[in-house]
Amino acid sequence: MIKHLKIILSLLFVVLALSGCKDDPQRNLQLAQWYSQKGLVDEAILEYREVTRLLPSDVKALSREEYEMLAKAHYSLALMYTKKDWWNYALMEAETCFELLPTREHYDIVTLLRKRIDLQDTES
C-alpha cells in the first residue's frame, strides 16, 4: 500500500511539474534535478537541455540568478553525459560551464574529463 502511494505521489509530482514547466527554466531545472536523483538520466538530460534553450543566448541579458542557473544546467549536463559514457559531450558542457563560471569545481571537472578522453584515446 505504501509502495503504491509513493509511486502515485511520484507520478503526480512529475505531472504537476511538467504542466508548470512551460517556458520556466527554474521549473525545468528542478524537474531535471528530480529526474537525476531518481536515476532517470535521459529525462534529466532533456530537462537540463531545455533550461539552456529557454535562457537567452546573450549572457549579458541574463540576471545573476539566470546566469547561475545556466552554469548549473551545463555542469549537470556534463555529469549526466558521463553517466552515458558520452565523454566528448560531457567535456563540451563542462567547458561551457567553466567559461560561464570559472570556479575550482568547474575547472576540476574539465581537467578530469580531458584526462579521461586522453586515456580513452591512448587505449584505442
Q: Domain segments of the chain: what residues?
A: 2-123
Neighbouring CB atoms inside 10 A of 105's CB total 10
Q: What confidence score (pLDDT) does residue 17 get? A: 57
Mean pLDDT in order along the chain per 10 residues (124 residues): 67 58 87 97 97 90 94 98 97 97 96 94 82
Q: What confidence score (pLDDT) does residue 122 get? A: 87
Between the CA of residue 83 and those of 21, 31, 78, 79, 122, what are the distances in Å?
25, 18, 9, 7, 21
Q: What confidence score (pLDDT) does residue 84 get? A: 97
Q: What confidence score (pLDDT) does residue 4 get? A: 65
Architecture of domain 2-123: Alpha Horseshoe (1.25)
Q: What confidence score (pLDDT) does residue 21 get? A: 46
Q: Quick one: cell of 41?
A: 538520466
Nearest to 47 by CA among 31, 63, 71: 31
Q: What confidence score (pLDDT) does residue 102 get? A: 95
Q: What confidence score (pLDDT) does residue 52 get? A: 96
